[in-house]
Amino acid sequence: MAQSPFHNGELQVQERVGEGDIARRVGAIVKNSMPARALDFIDKQTMVIVSSQDEERNIWTSMLVGRPGFVRATDERNIKIHLPSVVSSKSDIVWKNIEKERKIGLLFIDLTSRKRLRVNGTVSINKNDLLISIEQAYPNCPKYIQRREIEVTPSHTETGHSIVRDSRLTTELQEWIRNSDTFFVGSSDGNKNMDVSHRGGNPGFVEVLDDLTLNIPDYRGNSMFNTLGNFSINPKAGLLFVDFEKGRTLQITGKAEIIWDEKDVEEWTGGTKRFWKLIVAECIQADALKGISWKLVDYSPFNPK
């Protein structure tokens, strides 16, 4: 029998929700290398989402952006990011994190085509390149992705990026989250193995309960439950919200709490009756995406109303 690609947390969640058989079938897509067709997909990308851990095992999620070609698949097992070609903030916490904690999660997501590929692995750094050795790679379905077109027009002059750190969500940040239709979430199995995933819905799908607490519906997915499986054994999480109009990022690190079989009269969850809460520990706001613009095309037809 082939070895399962899932750890105990993922297996327990799959069985709890009655989707173990589906997960075992779907799990065949998880490989230790990328399919050949994915190499060209990666070479065309202008952004990649990265999850990393700081020295205290807090999880952070970041966005790296560059013109097509800044990231390349050198073969089915290795990816290279050309550091001088990265136009997003050089002050992002990811750069400090990966100096000591080399496990990372990557999400290559093309918002225009709604295609995405998840890659988990180990990073090394040389003078000009970030080198990722792949341990897991698998495609994801296009559900809940809002289509956007991206344009990267970086300035030739290096400019600073303002950074504001806080332990609570200000009124402005709460409103930002309430208006969001997309965020990204990093998680870990507790053994430093990292993962990062996309979450999307119509504006307002993330509920702000107070300045320390977010309530997030868990929609139907691929039945593998990578994120919730991680949360079940390691509650630390890192969220990334992007202000696509102003080129700002909001990174939040905290702890997740899964809510099972919640009353959901208005069907915020699309029928799963699952939510998870994020308790904020720290947040970082930055104008990290200067010279990058997005245009909204349409919302996903899969979004619960």
- For the chain, give percent helix, strand, coil, nearest 5: 15, 40, 40
* Mean of pLDDT values over 137-161: 82
pLDDT at 65 over 70: yes
Q: Provide the pLDDT for residue 157.
A: 44
What CATH number does residue 219 fall under? 2.30.110.10
Alpha-carbon distance 283 to 163, whole Å?
Answer: 10
pLDDT at 158 over 60: no
Q: Is residue 3 in some structural domain?
A: no
Angle between helices 8-16 and 226-233 (to 10 degrees): 110
Q: Provide the pLDDT for residue 1.
A: 46
Q: Which residues are CB-contacts of 99 (< 8 A; sequence separation ≥ 6)?
A: 125
Residue 196 β-bridge partners: 186
List the one residue out of 53, 174, 67, 140 whose CA is nearest residue 102: 53
* Mean of pLDDT values over 286-292: 91
Q: Provide the pLDDT for residue 135.
A: 97
Q: Provide the pLDDT for residue 154.
A: 66
Q: Is residue 1 in some structural domain?
A: no
Q: Provide the pLDDT for residue 151.
A: 92
* Mean of pLDDT values over 255-266: 91
Question: From the CB of residue 215, how many other CB atoms can be counted at a distance below 10 Å?
Answer: 16
45-49, 123-127, 212-216, range with the lowest pLDDT:
123-127
CA–CA–CA angle 257, 281, 294 (5° rounding): 90
Longest alpha-carbon distance in the chain: 56
- In angstroms, the Cα distances linking 303 to 110, 132, 139 are 18, 33, 20
pLDDT at 160 over 80: no
Alpha-carbon distance 20 to 26, whole Å?
Answer: 10
Structure tokens at 213: 């607490």
* Mean of pLDDT values over 143-167: 82
Q: Provide the pLDDT for residue 262.
A: 86
* Mean of pLDDT values over 196-212: 98
Q: Look-up: residue for tokens 């990811």?
A: 94
Q: Is residue 304 in some structural domain?
A: no
Q: Is residue 2 in some structural domain?
A: no
pLDDT at 139 over 90: yes
Q: Is residue 305 in some structural domain?
A: no
pLDDT at 155 over 70: no
Question: From the CB of residue 202, how many other CB atoms can be counted at a distance below 10 Å?
Answer: 13
Q: Is residue 209 in some structural domain?
A: yes
List the one residue out of 200, 194, 172, 223 whose CA is nearest residue 59: 194
pLDDT at 86 over 90: yes
pLDDT at 29 over 70: yes
Q: Which residue range forms the structural domain that includes residue 215? A: 8-298
Alpha-carbon distance 47 to 200, whole Å?
Answer: 17
Q: Look-up: residue for tokens 């379905």?
A: 141
pLDDT at 54 over 70: yes
- Tally of domains within the chain: 1
Q: Provide the pLDDT for residue 48.
A: 98
Tens of pLDDT, residues 93-133: 999 999 999 999 999 999 999 999 999 999 999 989 999 99
DSSP secondary structure string for all residues of 169-223: --HHHHHHHHT-SEEEEEEE-SSS-EEEEEEE-STT-SEEEETTEEEEE-----S
Tens of pLDDT, residues 265-276: 788 999 999 999
Q: Provide the pLDDT for residue 41.
A: 97
* Mean of pLDDT values over 295-303: 97
* Mean of pLDDT values over 6-30: 96
Q: Provide the pLDDT for residue 3.
A: 82
The phi, psi pair for 29, rounded to 5°, reads: -80, -15
pLDDT band at 156 (very low <50, low <70, confident <90, very high): very low
Q: Is residue 133 in some structural domain?
A: yes
Model-level pTM greater than 0.85? Answer: yes
- pLDDT more than 90, % of the chain: 91
